[in-house]
Each structure stands twice: as structure tokens, then as C-alpha cells.
Amino acid sequence: MDTHQNERRQGAGKRRDTPLDWARSRQMNGIETLMWRAEADPRMRSTICSLALLDRTPDWERFVAACDWGSRMAPRFRQKVVEPAFGLGTPCWVNDPHFDLHYHVRRIRLSESAGWRELFETAEQVAMTPFDRARSPWEAVLIDGMPDGHSALLVKLHHSTTDGMGGFQLFAKLHSRTREHDPDKPQPDAPPPEWISPTDLLVEQMSREARAVPGDALKSAGTLVRALGQPGKTVQDARRFMESLTRVAADPDAEGSPLLRERSLSWRFLALDVRFEDLRSAARQAGGTLNDAFLASLLGAFRIYHAKLGQAIKTMPIAMPISVRRDDDDQGGNKFAGARFAAPVGVADPLARIEAVGNMVRAARKEPAINGMAFIAPVLARLPAPLLGRLAGGITKTNDLQASNVPGFREELFIAGARIERIYGFGPLPGCATMITLVTHRDSCCIAANVDRAAVTDPELFGQCLEDGFAEVLTLCDGAEPPLRRK
């Protein structure tokens, strides 16, 4: 190869070998700060987990190399959180000068006779273990020993890193579409270490805010001049927003279930598969969406569970994140708003329940102040951490259910030569009784439930009720396959 050709190749490689444009913001936003600091109350831990079933066990060295490559492609995973001195500013992400991949990546082998229950118990123990806040808050655990030569990959993240949508934006770029190793993929360098103390960070933030004051003042003045030009519209919009914010912030008009009142630090994982086309067809019979059918199935499960335990209820307080991402938003991070409802648990007809749920969700999405927490969160985040934990817990502990629907992938994906068969997303229990997530993967809806053991005292019965709740909605689709519970 001549010198000129070699230089061209090196130049092309240099342009290509850059990290992904994902989660590049240095400073946490208000919601992320709330989640990070609210953990002063351990019941408010915001740990999210992805549990992927793999068709084989990847070669260990290749798997570790893939994790190393991923941490260079997404430098957020080589960063730790630094709090400003005295907690007076905003937490920031800083390149960890002592980053050690060996700490974050490990493997576990199940016993010879292990199955899904043993896999879930292992994942529960990893998920319930708090992060070392002096390190980057993530772990990747390869779990060997599943039947038929399968293995599993548990990826554990702190929610302040990203929300579900941001996580799948990343997975879409990191996971391979083939089993074979790609020698031509980008190879960015590790980010340079940063030595930033809490005091340095506080001084930096105070200086930046001081410089921003004149510009902010001019911007505010311009906004005021424009508002004075149309005072009637401005007052009307402000009143409409405040009325909406009052509705959004208010507690749902529903009593919490007497069966789900207790809270603890103990988690229990459950999972089942539902055929994607069947659930979507059932939703269409009621003029609803896949999300409407998902929520209606969960409410059916809770109705059945309460009936079997002799405590019939008509409504229950639930919460659901609503994505506020725009097409031009940066990828990664957290961009969601929380909506809370008095959910119609007592509606036995699945078609009527889908319609009721659909109306409820559409009304929430139309609220002008649906993202009102984005305005409040920066103020709340400045409160002392113990007070913030109590305040956040007071809001979420009334939720009997938090449900999330995350669009996944319809194509085949591989990691270190192993094909991903299913992906289950286990969300946190920040004071709520249950967190249940739907992730679409190829032709399946992967349903993952994280339940508080003090609230759901009979998790095996609850798992059966989840099956029954989805089966009830699937009666609206002719020829639907029954739900498959992983147990």
C-alpha cells in the first residue's frame, strides 16, 4: 500500500472512530437530579434492569471486549457522578480517572437444574444491591446455565443515566445485526480522565450562573415586551396552564388498595410473553392502541387478584410515564413526564376497559402542563436529600401500579455472537407497589413485573392473575395464542 493510500485510510478511520452522540450532557436535568438524590431514602432507589435471553453463551473474552467497546462508544459508561460541595448545585457526569471495567462486568453460573425462577432470583439479588456511588452506576452480568444451552444478560443502570426510550436508542446502535465479529466497526479511544472535586464543580457552576444572569435578564425582558403586546392571550394561556398543572399534580381520585399498602426493600420479578399481533388486534377491536390493551390487561390482572383474595375494588391509583421527546432532542438521558390516574379496575368487560383506558390516557397527553414536573424538578432538586427523599416518596407511595410501554426492536440482534431471543425491562419501585413494563421484541410483547414483596404477598398468585388478565383481553382476537409465563 502506498503512503498516500495509507494516509487516506488513516484519515477515514479517524473521522469514523468517534463516540456516539448519545447522553452527552454533562449536567443532570431536574428529573435526573431528583432520582439521584431521592435515594437518601433507600426505598426510592431508581435502578432499571434489562434482562435478555440469549440463544447461546457468548465467548467470555469476546463478551468483555464488547463491553469495553460499548463503554468507549458511549462514554457515559466511563463516567461517575460528582456532587457539588454542600449539595448546592447540580450533579454532573465526569470521566472517571479510576474506571475499571473489571468491576462492572462479571459472570454467574446457575446450578445444574436451574430454570427461570433461579434466573429471576439471581437477577433480583443483583438489582436490589445498591450502586457504589463513587463509580459509574452500571453493571453487566452474563448468567450461564439456562436450559437448552441458553444464557442471559442482565444490564443494570441507574435511571439518572437514561429512560427506557433513551436506552433502546443506545441498544439500537451498539447491538450487532450478525453473529460474526465486525473488524471494521469504529474504535474510539477511551475518554481522558477528569480530576474534578466537589469544590471545583461548585465554583464552576456558580461562575457559569453568574455569567448567565445578564443574558437571562435580556431574554426575560424580551418575553415580557412580547407578552404586553397581547395581554389577554397571555393571561388566558397562563390560567389554562395553571389549571392543567393543578390537575396533573393532584393525587388521583382513588384510594390505594388495602392489599397493596405495605412497602419494603424486597423485589420479586415475574415475566410473560404475549404475541405482539394478537395484543394489537385485540386493541383494534376496541378502537384502541397496543398501550391501551396493555394497561387494560394489567387492570384485569389486579381485579382478578383482588377478587381471589376477597377484596374487590373499583378503582386504584396508577402512574405512567409519557415520553416528551421531540425528533430534534439529543438522544439518551431522561425526557419523560409522569401521568397519574384513577384507573377503572372494576370494569370486567375487556372491550369497555380498553375504551376507558384509552380515553384516560388521551386526556392526560392533551394536558398543557403534562410536563409540568420539568419546571418544578429543578427547584425540588435543591432541597436537602433526606427531605427530598421523603417528599418524592410521599408522591409515589400512593401508586399501586406504575406501568411503562417501551418500543423495542423488530429485527434480529446479537451480542458477542449470541442472538437475543427476548428482552425484559424491569423498572424500579420508587415507593410504588408494582412496576410493570412492556418491551416489544420481534414478534413478542415481553412483559416484566417487579413487585414489592410486602405489597404483593402472594407473588405466585399474582403471576397467574397476570396471565389471566392478558388472556381476558386476548379473547377479543380470534385465534390468539395464550400468554406464556416464564416460570
How many Å apart are CA 316 and CA 260, to the nearest integer? 10
Length of the chain: 487
Q: How far, in Å, are 292, 300, 365 from residue 359 at the CA level?
A: 9, 17, 10
Supply the residues annotated as catalytic.
159
How many Å apart are CA 143 and CA 145, to the nearest integer? 7
Determine how β-strand 151-158 pairs with β-strand 267-275.
unpaired
Q: In what order do the strands lie in the sheet with 418-426?
A: 105-109, 138-144, 151-158, 47-54, 418-426, 414-415
Could you tell me if 336 and 213 are in contact, meaning their C-beta atoms sit under 8 angstroms apart?
Answer: no
278 closest CA partner among 117, 106, 84, 484: 484
How many Å apart are CA 255 and CA 342, to the nearest integer? 9
428 closest CA partner among 447, 404, 446: 404
